[in-house]
Structure 1
Amino acid sequence: MPSISARIPDDEEEALAEVADLLGEDKSATIRKALSEGLHDLRVRVAVERYQSGDVSVNEAARIADVSLGEWMEIAREHNLTTQLSPDDLESDADAALDV
């Protein structure tokens, strides 16, 4: 497993220690968990923004978010997203979904 280092403000180090205590794990495990969850949230945010602007299809948004098409549809519903796609785009996405 690769190792990285980062400088964080004192107050964030204190918060990290508190969360690690709450979870009953060491700070390294807590950082890995926070990074994983944070990266997922960032991927979803980018997918939502790109889908909402019409830059990507349903299929591409799901890929960016690193979720299944079904999970993406739930995310889209939670964010009240409406399709920005043409009927041809929708047909292409439906065909791709059938291939999965």
Structure 2
Amino acid sequence: MPSISARIPDEDEEALIDVAELLDEDKSTVIRKALREELTELRVRRAIERYQSGDVSANQAARIAGVGIAEWLEIARDRNLTTQLSPDDLEGDADRAREL
């Protein structure tokens, strides 16, 4: 497993220690979990931006987010997303989803 070194502000280290104690885990484990969760969230946010602007279809947004189409549709529903895609684009997405 590769190793990464980073400098963080004192208040972030204090928060890290607090969370590590709360979860009863070491700091390295908490950092790995936090990084993984935030990277996932960043992908989802970018997919939402692109989907909302009409740049990508639901299928493409799912790929950007790193999730399957069913999970993407749940994300879209949970976050009340709308799209600027044409009815033809949406029909194409529906056809591809039916194929799964």
Partners of 2:40 and 2:63 in 1: CA distance: 12
Letter in 2 for 1:65: A
Give the aligned residue type for 1:86: S
Shift of 1:88: 2.1
Residue 91 in structure 1 maps to residue 94 in structure 2: no
Deviations, residues 18-76 of structure 1 (Å, cap 9, x unaligned): 10111111100000000001011111111111100111100011111111111111111
Determine the structure 2 residue equivalent to 1:28. 28
TM-score norm. by structure 1 comes to 0.92
The structural deviation recorded for 1:17 is 0.7
Return the letter of the residue paired with 1:17.
Answer: I
Give the aligned length: 100
Deviation at 1:82, TM superposition (A): 1.6
In structure 1, the residue matched to 2:67 is 67
Counterpart in the other structure of 2:3: 3
Structure 1 range deviating more: 48-57 or 74-83: 74-83
Q: Which residue of 1 aligns with 2:51?
A: 51
Alpha-carbon separation, structure 1, partners of 2:2 and 2:92: 39
Structure 2: gaps spanning 5 or more residues = none
Shift, 1:90, TM fit = 1.7
C-alpha separation between the residues in 2 aligned to 1:21 and 1:31?
A: 13
